Amino acid sequence: MDVEHAGGRAQTVVAVSRSAEHRFSKEPVDTIQLLMGHGVEGDAHAGATVRHRYLAARDATAPNLRQVHLLHHEFLEEAAAHGIEVPPGGMGENILTRGLDVLGLPTGTRLRIGEDAVVRVTGLRNPCDQIEAYRPGLLALCYGVDEEGARTRRAGIMGVVERSGQVRAGDTITVDPPPQPWRGLEVV
């Protein structure tokens, strides 16, 4: 697995989004401020403890492993090829990337984004029925099957902020993989 480069393509931020309300989609903005141990400033999912409504109902004191949602733009391109248009922020992501194999990153990978921000990858986003309500047919694209026949999830990854910083479209993303042996991504 080559977690450092994506076929020679630059690894960049395409768009950034946030929402102060618990809604499915987030509003694209020019810049977001990532706050260490907290998440995206002004976003409903930011906080040291879990903010996702379903997870908070189970244990509101659990650590928030879902402070930042990253999605690869290539997924939106694939959806468009299936006739499903999804704008930036539409899937609820905070950071839309290009050229970065987000689903191939090991757990614990650190992503240096822009000049200062660092996000540590914690796991996969678990697709939910809201995706189908948002765009019929999209939920099916959020799942795949791996070489062993196991179901995979393709709706992006989650992370926590390890170093504060601003993030905007055009910022570069540098991948710092964790020490081996690598652990694959699981749902958080």
In a domain, 4, yes or no: no
103 vs 70: CA distance, rounded Å = 10
Report if residue 184 sits inside a domain: no
| pLDDT beneath 50: ranges in the chain | 1-2, 4-7
List beta partners, residue 13.
Answer: 97
Task: Work out how many domains the chain is built from and give that number.
Answer: 1
Return the closest-CA partner of residue 176 out of 162, 156, 158.
162
- The structure's pTM equals 0.94
Does 168 map to a domain?
yes
**7 part of a folded domain:** no
- Say if 16 falls within a structural domain: yes
Judge contact between 98 and 71, C-beta under 8 A: no
pLDDT digits (tens, 9 = 90+) for 22-33: 999 999 999 999
How confident is the model at residue 136, as a pLDDT? Answer: 97
Domain of residue 35 covers 12-176
The pLDDT, as a whole number, for residue 9 is 66
Q: Determine, yes or no, domain membership for 5.
A: no
Q: What is the pLDDT of residues 73-103, one digit of tens each?
A: 999 999 999 999 999 999 999 999 999 999 9
CA angle 6, 91, 74 (to 5 degrees): 25
Q: Is residue 119 part of a domain?
A: yes
CATH number of the domain encompassing residue 155: 2.40.33.20
Whether residue 1 is contained in a domain is answered as no
Buried b (16+ CB within 10 A) or exposed e, 152-184: ebbbbbbbbbebebbbebebebebebbeeeeee
